[in-house]
Chain A
Amino acid sequence: MSTPSRVITLTLDDREVGAHTDQTILEVARENGIVIPTLCHLEGLLPIGACRICLVEVVGSNKLLPACATKVTDGMRVITQSERLTRYRRRVVEFLFASGNHICAVCVSNHHCELQDMAVYTGMSHLTEPYRYPKLRVDASHERFVQDDNRCILCQRCVRVCAEIEGAHTWDVMGRGIEARVITDLNQPWGESDTCTSCSKCVQVCPTGALSIKGMAAAEMKKRKHFLAQYWTLKEEES
């Protein structure tokens, strides 16, 4: 049995706000109109704190904490904007670009990409680290979708939506650190997956051009994520 949620107060950037103990810093910030950038997080999926874009400072903690995955506590003092945070967030985006092969001009998601948006938001105009140019796989074996590791930022939204909402759990992560990749089933080609229901939820929630509908040309892929909100509204009505 989880402990029932209590009402508490905390400060967000010098503002005193009320919240419930079962809320995350991100949820409370959003309720109060405070913008914290996010990338791996998607409302309607369980937070995992994978990308570290949403890092905030909490007074008394020497670590930066992910706002999407950190619950609020009574009297907590949170700083969401600082020079240090701006620097960190920009570095995170830089690393994401450096670790894949992002050639936006030819990408299906050009102009509709959350990673691109984040580069703009954090003012990341160039890389201070060299590109890695890794040799990565493109899996076009699925009849309707294409998966391109070159553009994957390992946010695991695909993994989560597939397991938590669709209930298929086709996606998972294989390998560690810089070698980590998303895979379908036991690393079989997507087209040969026994569990995939071809529902396209993973494609729609993927923030980049890593998952796309087959046949789309450059800049044509626009993701539709509204199904998630609808899903939860229905669930709530049901219960």
Chain B
Amino acid sequence: MSRTIVIDPVTRIEGHAKITIYLNDEGNVRDARFHVTQYRGFEKFCEGRPYTEMPALTARTCGICPISHLMAASKACDAILAVRIPDTAVKLRKIVNLAQIIQSHALSFFHLSSPDLLLGMDAPIEQRNILGLAASHPEMAREGIWLRKFGQQIIEKIAGKRIHPAWTVPGGVSAPLAPETREWILSQLPEGIRIIQRVLEWYKSAYGQFADEIEYFANFPSLFMGLVNEDDSLEHYDGALRVVDDRRRIIADRIPSADYQDYISEYVEPDSYLKSPFYKMMGYPEGIYRVGPLARLNCAERTGAPLSAVELFAFRKLSKGAVLSSFHYHYARLIEILFGFERIEQLLNESDILSEHVRAHAGPNREEGVGISEAPRGMLLHHYKVDRNGLITWANLIIATGHNNLAMNRGIAQAAKHYVKGDKIKEGALNRVEAVIRCYDPCLSCSTHAFGEMPMRVQLIGPEGTLLDEKIRTI
């Protein structure tokens, strides 16, 4: 008779979820699943609304990364307008998108994950948070907070309100860049670069201690999917889709956004509201792929900026093919923060960045539009259909956490098999299973609406369905 361990909900990830670990008769882990239990039905909600509302409306699906939804939604709307938006608008959107990635990665790394890394996976739960980090590593905590704030300030200064700005609109952006804002961001960038380079040095010196976690944290072959530029460099806003395999061989490339359905299919599992997309050519579940920072670095040939290029070179040495351990999502995030700063600097130095021509005007010229951009957690896809008056008749959103769903399941099963033993759950083991999920930094508020730390329920169910052990912790 098999037994089930339920971890519900996972602490320190954004949203509301539950982990179930299935034990076999011998008390060993047979399988593990990650469930998302709430559904907000946004796609239905959008029907009948003017397409021009989609950026603001879909930004509401997520209180954590509204900017990413604004980007994908605006791009889908641009496709409906069938216009080429002004170059300056593209550049400004890129800057804001990168600032969002920087602030989100800083939150993920410093606030949510670095307590595990710096204080250890077995440290008391009360200390494994940003406050514990501030007590033991004040410099690191302060710098993490600085990085996040800087990302947020860039967004606020360019796009106005930090959360849900109405600045990105179909056809471009609603206001040009102010010269003072450009000066200010440029003046702060060197400090950001200095900080992230130091953190990278620390990470490289420290990850050796986590050999075990690197080995068992969702370390398995899979496909990777991400956007790349025409010159194969790292891209977060535009570009075309690329799919690479575990040996970094390109198996599909230059896929235009509008053709995504030829390559991705979606499977809805009965126990989760999260859709499970897979790579169509390989079927379900073999076509499992990962998106996000790790996937992007595995997909791109180069970063396109000097300092991050050096870091990418070091990163490549981790593995002959693609870097497979999800533990290194952390590493990839740090490299992307550095890249973000470099790229923002490049964009701010473009000659037309202060141009006032930032918006194209048009009506709905096409009845369908797809917008893909890279959110902090990975590819975000918006696909709309409109009637001839521009009212939404159908919408499909695939969020990054959805793309990673199958990979997360496989990852926690792998970690649980290694760390969970017997019918009592040790704190350290539990935390490692959760930490796998945190590697992916899943943003579940797209389907739920919670932020930060929550109570966690751990249930251990015996052979006849009896409760053997239960832990409830409130942080």
Chain A interface residues toward B at CB < 8 A = 105-106, 108, 110, 138, 140-141, 143, 146, 148, 191, 214-220
Contact = CB atoms under 8 A, between A and B. Distances in A.
A217 B390 contact: no
Main SS at interface, chain A: loop
A114 to B, nearest CB: 19
Interface string B186-224: 000000000000000000000000000000000000000
Given A105-B56, A217-B56, A140 B391 contact: yes
A108 B166 CA distance: 10
Interface residues of B, number: 21
A4 B320 CA distance: 97
Contact of B170 (A138, A141, A146, A217): A217
B52 A217 contact: yes
Given A140-B389, A146-B50, A220-B166, A106 B56 contact: yes
Q: Of A140, A143, A146, which is in contact with the most chain B CB atoms at under 10 Å from its CB?
A: A140
A217 B169 contact: yes
Interface string B385-399: 000011100000000
A106 B362 CA distance: 20
Interface of B: 48-50, 52-53, 55-57, 60, 164, 166, 169-171, 174, 361-363, 389-391
A146 B363 CA distance: 12
Nearest to B170: A217
B57 A106 contact: yes
A174 B55 CA distance: 33
A217 B171 CA distance: 10
Contact of B60 (A105, A148, A191): A105
Given A106-B60, A141-B389, A191-B389, A218 B55 contact: yes
Given A191-B389, A217-B170, A218-B166, A138 B60 contact: no
Contacts of A141: 389
Nearest first, the 3 closest Cβ-Cβ pairs linking A and B are A218-B56, A140-B389, A217-B169
A214 B390 contact: yes
10 contacts: A138-B391, A140-B391, A143-B363, A146-B50, A214-B52, A215-B361, A215-B363, A217-B52, A217-B170, A218-B166
Contact of B50 (A140, A143, A219): A140
Contact of A220 (B57, B169, B391): B169
A220 B169 CA distance: 10
B391 A218 contact: no
Contacts of A218: 53, 55-56, 166
Contacts of A148: 50
Nearest to B55: A217
B39 to A, nearest CB: 18
A112 to B, nearest CB: 12
A208 B423 CA distance: 61
B390 A140 contact: yes
Nearest to B73: A217
B417 to A, nearest CB: 45
Given A106-B56, A214-B52, A219-B166, 5 more contacts: A108-B52, A138-B48, A138-B50, A148-B50, A214-B390
Q: Of A106, A138, A215, A217, which is in contact with the most chain B CB atoms at under 10 Å from its CB?
A: A217
A111 to B, nearest CB: 9
Contacts of B60: 105-106
Contacts of B170: 215, 217
Contacts of A110: 166
A215 B360 CA distance: 11
Contacts of B52: 108, 214-217
A233 B174 CA distance: 35
A215 B50 CA distance: 9
A218 to B, nearest CB: 3
A191 B166 CA distance: 28
Given A214-B390, A217-B174, A105 B164 contact: yes
Q: Of B49, B50, B57, which is in contact with the most chain A CB atoms at under 10 Å from its CB?
A: B50
Nearest to B164: A105
Nearest to B49: A138
